[in-house]
Amino acid sequence: MPIPDVLRSEDFVVTLNGQPVPVVHAAASYDYVNFAITGSVDIKITARDAGFWNAGVDVQPWRLGIRPTRKGNTIRFHLKRPADLAISLPQDFLNNARMLFIFATPPVAPPPKGKNVHVVPPGLHEGNINPKNGEIWYLDPGAVIQGSINLWHVNHVKILGSGVVLYDGPQNPDSDQGWMQRPDWHCIGALDSHDVEIRGVTCLVRSRTWSIQMKDSTGFVYDGLHVIGGNPGNANQDGMDWLGGGDTIVRNSFFRTSDDVFAMQGNWDGYGEAAMVHPGHEVANILIENSELSTSISNIVRAGWPQKTYSSHHFTLRNSDVLAGGIGACGLPFALFTYWGDKGASGDQSDFTFENLFLDDWYSLVQMKQENPALHHFIFRNIWALGQPPLTASLLAGDVYDVHLSNVKYGQQRVDQDSRVPLSVQDGAAKPIYDSAAGVQASFSVQGTAVIPGQRVRFEATKQKIRHVRYTWIFGDGSKANGRRVRHRFQDALGTELNGDREGSGSFRVLLHVENKRNPNEQDWAEQPVIVVGRWQSAQPDVQVKPGLHYQIYPGTWKNFPDFAQEVPANIGVTSTLKMADTGGFSHYAAVWDGYVIVPTDGGYLFHLMARDGAKLYLDGQVVAQTGTPFAEVCGSPGNAVRYAAGAIGLRAGKHRFKLEALQTMSLGTPQLLWEGPGIPLGAIPAAAFVH
């Protein structure tokens, strides 16, 4: 079916079982394909730009274990069942990322019959949909509404089908006007409306406005919704907002936003003093489940705001994937969940549950601050972080109590104390409760320390205390297996994301899913990278060494790494840890640490690097990890966000040349460097391993 010029994309060519399908330009640099899936399909994606996939391929959600094959600028993989996927280059998920979304959906039911049914046929339709009480609107496949859906003081309305609403409004791209409650101001806007069902609709939002806004509205059901938003300002483009009201169910949906994916407030009438202190209405009874969530900036879920007064209760987010959590800060750092009650904010907020959630690219777990009563009974249960550590610390501050962290896991490590979150508890907040894990508990071991391509590797899951347990392995190379003990061969060293060096080493994201066959709701996951080594780095010849690393400090405001050989350091010394270097009082500088790192045993090692203004790690003269371009925080928060990079390498036991370069031009804080390897869980490199 032909698509309008306003939606046509030429960045990718996509075929399903050899047949081409339309690729739609959504917003910013995001494209998508939407099709009904009735059986297994072979998906082939060819990028317009030659070499586009050379840096790797990231297919989310990671728990599905999809790893494409790659040939030139074409990738391909199989899909057997409905799924919403995000495909990009690894670690490329910010506002300027080139992303392709695949929406493989169940077949859409035909339109109902009746005099109150309005069918929008295929084609481009300029204007808005303004339903009346009791009406049903059906958007045929191929129907594109260039406008808004306005639900203003209506009841018993249904919006069905699989059409598109393309919203590109008159909002100022340089300021926030998206909060306004106006008709024709959002993809879907609701005011004082009730008993509304919206299924199968795709919202494409290109302007700086909140995508779906509901004010004092209740009884909404969203199912199979797809929301893609992107704008030049990279802000103020929430996915779904409640301003009073609630009683909402969102399921089987996909969100890619340029601000909070979900946000709750009692009201919002601007940023002026009077608007802030005016009490708002209660928000209650919201369920979000079985969905895929992604944002370029801000939080997955946010509630509260400085000076605001309102109450909220009974919110649940469960059985969903966080594909990309926004990086940076707006007053508080961004997180899976943020409640920002500051400057006299008040209200009672209770009974929030976050359960069975997978975190792919993410920033921090929780930021909760409330000055007046109170935030209480918040549960974080079965939170499975895959592939990376948190990039910044979490916070509980003020009148906050009865917060439960139950089976929150980073890889295989269960969080059981504040230092492992990490979490700061301030201003009278109660310490969180770390509940014991119940039911099945997933963990596993990997035989051997040095894995090479084609080697048979033994995996063993920890035996459970109950019978009737199913063990499912996802090896990160596109294959799966069942059983408590399994053997597997990795055929190459490119890693799950195809970003390893063919003659180097690659990291495979191995997942274990353990479930009670008689009660599938009783489940647990564990993740651990397995480094497959294609080339070994030999240790340096034995030399006399002393503890610590050399460091050099070069004053200046550097936008890029200088040629240090041409610069003269202002301060030099030896330090046992990165944080203990004497910067000489300079606040803007470049720093270099160099020496050796002692590797205890042969094996594949994964290094995790985190820095705000830029950092680069070298081992034996080769770049192993380099953080991305600095990304400024917003809302007046100083400095840049923490950027993350990881690199795999095969190291023989012994001393290896070590060098870390870092910039501190806008932000405070030393780079953080973690490692993991044979017998070494994810953690900081011990000071005893650094010598010079």
State the average pLDDT over residues 224-234.
95
CA-CA-CA-CA torsion for 205, 207, 210, 211, nearest 10 degrees?
-10
Contacts of 218 (CB under 8 A, 6+ apart): 194, 245, 246, 247, 248
pLDDT at position 503 over 90: no
Kindly indicate the confidence band of residue 502, based on its pLDDT and cuts at 50, 70 and 90. low
Class of domain 143-435: mainly beta
- 114-120 contacts at long range (C-beta below 8 A, 24 or more positions apart): 120/145, 120/161, 120/163
DSSP letters, 232-296, are TT--S--SEEEEEEEEEEEES-EEEESS-SEEEES----SSHHHHHS----EEEEEEES-EEEES
Helix (H, G, I), strand (E, B) or coil at 66: coil
- Asked if 418 and 400 count as a contact pair (C-beta separation under 8 A), the reply is no
Class of domain 444-534: mainly beta
Whole-number pLDDT of residue 647: 96
Q: pTM for the complete prediction?
A: 0.97
Whole-number pLDDT of residue 590: 96
CA–CA separation, 456 and 462 (whole Å): 20
Helix (H, G, I), strand (E, B) or coil at 420: helix
State the average pLDDT over residues 135-154.
97
- Nearest Cα neighbor of 495 from 646, 597, 323 is 646
Burial class (CB in 10 A: 0-12, 13-18, 19+), 92: middle
- Nearest Cα neighbor of 308 from 280, 332, 272 is 280
Residue with tokens 């009874």: 285
Q: Mind listing the pLDDT tens digit for each residue in 646-672?
A: 999 999 999 999 999 999 998 988 999
CA–CA separation, 502 and 505 (whole Å): 7
State the average pLDDT over residues 361-381.
97
Helix (H, G, I), strand (E, B) or coil at 669: coil
Residue with tokens 């594909």: 323
State the average pLDDT over residues 380-384.
98
State the average pLDDT over residues 522-526.
96
**If DSSP states are collapsed to H, E and C, what string results for 462-521?**
CCCCCCCEEEEEECCCCCEEECCEEEEECCCCCCCCCCCCCCCEEEEEEEEEEEECCEEE
Q: And the tokens for 642?
A: 């923490």
Q: Mind listing the pLDDT tens digit for each residue in 197-214?
A: 999 999 999 999 999 999
pLDDT at position 1 over 70: no
Q: Mind listing the pLDDT tens digit for each residue in 425-481?
A: 999 999 999 988 778 999 999 997 789 999 999 999 999 988 899 999 999 999 999
Q: Mind listing the pLDDT tens digit for each residue in 88-133?
A: 999 999 999 999 999 999 999 999 999 999 999 999 999 999 999 9
Single-letter amino acid, residue 536: W
Buried b (16+ CB within 10 A) or exposed e, 590-619: bbbbbbbbbbeebbbbbbbbbbbbbbbbbb
Whole-number pLDDT of residue 122: 96
pLDDT at position 404 over 90: yes
CA-CA-CA-CA torsion for 550, 556, 558, 561, nearest 10 degrees?
-30
Buried b (16+ CB within 10 A) or exposed e, 244-261: bbbbbbbbbbbbbbbbbb
Query: 353 - beta bridge partners?
Result: 316, 379
pLDDT at position 542 over 90: no
Residue with tokens 């290094």: 607
Contacts of 366 (CB under 8 A, 6+ apart): 335, 336, 337, 338, 378, 380, 394, 395, 396, 403, 423
Class of domain 549-691: mainly beta
Whole-number pLDDT of residue 448: 77
Other C-beta atoms within 10 Å of 499: how many?
A: 21
- Asked if 616 and 660 count as a contact pair (C-beta separation under 8 A), the reply is yes
Question: How do the domains of the chain map onto residue ranges?
Answer: 5-105, 143-435, 444-534, 549-691
State the average pLDDT over residues 313-337.
97
Q: Which CATH superfamily is domain 5-105 in?
A: Dextranase, N-terminal (2.60.350.10)
Positive or negative torsion for Cα 181, 182, 188, 193:
positive
Q: And the tokens for 353?
A: 């549950």
Q: What percent of the chain lies above the pLDDT cut of 70?
A: 100
Q: And the tokens for 138?
A: 């059906």
CA-CA-CA-CA torsion for 513, 517, 518, 523, nearest 10 degrees?
0
Cα–chain center distance at 262: 14
CA–CA separation, 263 and 377 (whole Å): 19
CA–CA separation, 412 and 509 (whole Å): 12
What mean pLDDT value characterizes the chain? 96
